[in-house]
Amino acid sequence: MATYTEPMRPYEFVLSDHGGISYESATLNSGSGTLVPGSVIGRITKRQAAAPIPTIVGTGTGAMTLLTFGPDVQVGSYVITLTATSATAAFTVTAPDGTALPTGNVATAYKSNHLSFLIGNAGTMTTGDAFTVVVTAGGTPVLVGTGSGVVSAFSLGPLAQRGTYRVKLTATSATALFEVRAPSGELVGTGNVATAFASDHVNFSLANGGTMTLGDYFNIIVAGYTTPEALLWDPTAVNGVNEVFGIATHGAAASGTVAVLTRLAEVKTAALTWKSTVTAAQKTEAYRQMAANNLIVRS
């Protein structure tokens, strides 16, 4: 007679929790396959993007400078619209998903978790004039300055932060030194034009075609998703799936949704299910990530 293997039951891996506060819902990625209760999952939360500094559309002649992006940056179009005609005119800011961000004023630096910039008060400022900042997924960073170098072969590293990485030239030459700073402001490292730059944050090549001028810079943007999608946790991924989001409470098919135990709980080690390639050493790293959210694994 065939042996029957009892499947894992919903919530069977849970030893204790703190009720609803311990759980969140996740949308599954189409490549997630069928999950079982106890599946350890991460979410796709990061992707490379780019956005050039836009010119004004309308009758005015104001200019935008100092454009950078924060951890909440979205792919799509941010629209900045002047609501008055003056040297310190107010403006509105609308995010790609339609959210109205805090308003600002010409000649005053604007800062938010989405984007930051300065609209100068030189020239005219006219009601209804607008700037559209287009953030493109996978786009090519555009040089800001007087040179003509080009970034290529860009990829994320496992420690990539959402926001703006600034690559700034510190010399003028075909093999000029440059520095790379993370969205947090920390120095990631230095490199040289015409030599591939590699790090745990970002990787790229800065070609020495054209001119390379001291102070020129590129903004490399790491954007998120309005609805991050879940996959089985993968420590080799660089798109956020390498960060444990939580543990699926029940079985679910790809492209569906699933309840996830994410914090303030204790779970059984033997009742967890992993991606087939995950090693014992990598599971130890996953337990460390879980512990940071007070998700404790017990034998």
pLDDT digit string (tens) for 14-43? 999 999 999 999 999 988 888 999 999 999
Q: Which pLDDT score is estimated for 262? A: 97
Token readout for 24 is 């969140």
Look-up: residue for tokens 């400078």? 65
d(CA 255, CA 242): 20
What is the location of CATH 2.40.300.10 in the chain? 16-45+226-298
Q: Which pLDDT score is estimated for 239? A: 95
Token readout for 231 is 């996959």
Token readout for 52 is 């050039």
d(CA 151, CA 173): 16
Strand bridging mode 150-156 / 202-207: antiparallel
Q: Give the pTM.
A: 0.84
Q: Which pLDDT score is estimated for 4? A: 60
**Integer CA distances (angstroms), 152 to 7, 207, 239, in order:** 48, 8, 19
DSSP letter string over 282-293?
HHHHHHHHHHHT
Give the domain 16-45+226-298 fold.
Answer: Virus Head Decoration Protein; Chain: A, (2.40.300)
- The ranges of the chain with pLDDT < 70 are 1, 4-6
Helix (H, G, I), strand (E, B) or coil at 111: coil
Instruction: Kindly state the DSSP code that residue 270 receives in the 8-state scheme.
Output: G
d(CA 292, CA 157): 21
